[in-house]
Structure 1
Amino acid sequence: MSVDEMQHPLTVTQRPEAGPVEAVVFDWGGTLTPWHEIDLGQQWRVFAREVHGIPIESDDVPQEDLDRAQELADRILLAEDRAWRRGRLEDRASARLDDILREAGIDPREDRHHVALAAYRRFWEPHTHTDPQVRPLFEGLRERGLKVGVLSNTIWSREYHREIFERDGVLDLIDGDAYSSEIHVVKPHREAFQAVCDTLGVAPTHAVYVGDRLFEDVLGSQEVGMRAIWVPHSDIPTDQQVTVDVEPDGTAHELLDVLTIVDGWLAG
């Protein structure tokens, strides 16, 4: 981030005029999934113990082995933090899980990696459940003739996200999705929003974006001409916040409020 950006709030520099609504696109984490705090270090401690063959529930482990696992977990957490900071504060570059592991000195092709990755996913399972309002919301949008999309800043693969949507019974209602792990940029870069609109076959000026972050979701989507709905129910950590001077086009205090907001635009 430049010195000027650090001293002055970011704002929308240009915004094409919005047209008729044809699609509504959603952020994933903290928007389609309810927000709650997570010990991000624990995900990698679970992973590292599996890499070193240390049973998760066992207390009868030599301290030397525990220290080795902790050192690896700290190394991966640092690499992940650097990746997210690059995307948020520097060049908007995206990252993948395998890239982060390689930066931390882990070879994703190793057999232990696959075992550790399974443990990592088990850790995340209770934190990835889709909000119960998502299916009726998506159904309501479809009934209005609108396409439904997902655009997420993520280090996880498309397949992993789709497994989550299928598990929670909403995959069949998603018309198109894009993930930063598959493109070279993260939100709020305009190319991320253009990518999901291209997938849906709609112009950005004919789409709405729904998300819980003013910087990544509201600022970025408005700059490409999308209407932006803010869902302010996430307690975003201070070190993940970027000061912005933006005004969302609508505010949804629960997800089903999106239908009411969109109805106002459809009627207008």
Structure 2
Amino acid sequence: MERIEHRACFGGWQDVYRHRSEVLDCDMTVGVYLPPQAAHGPCPVLYWLSGLTCNEQNFITKAGAQRYAAEHGVILVAPDTSPRGQDVANDEAYDLGQGAGFYVNATREPWAKHYRMYDYVADELPALVEAKFPATDVRAISGHSMGGHGALVIALRNPGRYRSVSAFSPIVAPSQVPWGEKAFAAYLGDDREAWKRYDAVELVKGAREKLPLLVDQGDADEFLSGQLKPELLRAVCAAAGHRLELRLQPGYDHSYYFIASFIGDHIAHHARAMRA
């Protein structure tokens, strides 16, 4: 991994690395915040998955998360949201292609060669992080919007791998909303049974580990009723007896102003779980 950015931040270091991904068959960039505690020994890791149109920069420059990571001694790892490069398939729309990987393993062309973000986040990236940095194998995962969908899905599908999971404004039922239907049809094809493996609402029904879910959602979010539909997650969690803390935050929208307002709560939540 080649370090391409290095900045002092709250007593630690906000770095950006470039590396070759064998899973995605392209070069990737990833933000890594090392808190001051990492200079003295291994720290637990919180993985952050960003949303549509984002790369690693959005979270590390807008969320204000480093302050809280330094307080709790947590490494923050924020990857890009898709494979990138001239040889990587793309689309003119903002919600498909580069910047819109949806954290799935694509099975349809032209996407299947590179778009394997599920394997990248769940397997390849943690192996790289734990080999390169003073990181323990104690992990948590969180994200926003498309990334909130990714965090919930990856945690639900990998019991025992994460101590905690949370999300801001997640796409909880991509099989039932336009963003997800468009992406899943392109990446996975028309078989809706295959879509269920990447749908949090579907996965809760048969989850082998009932890892508590923490979800923050702004009630002034412009995508609330059309794309996010948190009530679907609430209903399925109630039916399955799966613990969910769904906090509807009055006045907040879909932006990083919302994330910055509550990221401290989320990092404290993950830090507690990772210390347990």
TM-score of the two chains, using structure 2 as the length reference: 0.29
Higher gyration radius (CA): 1
Higher strand share: 2
Higher helix share: 1
TM-score of the two chains, using structure 1 as the length reference: 0.30
Q: Looking at both structures, which has the greater relative contact order when contacts are Cα pairs under 8 Å and sequence separation is at least 6?
A: 1
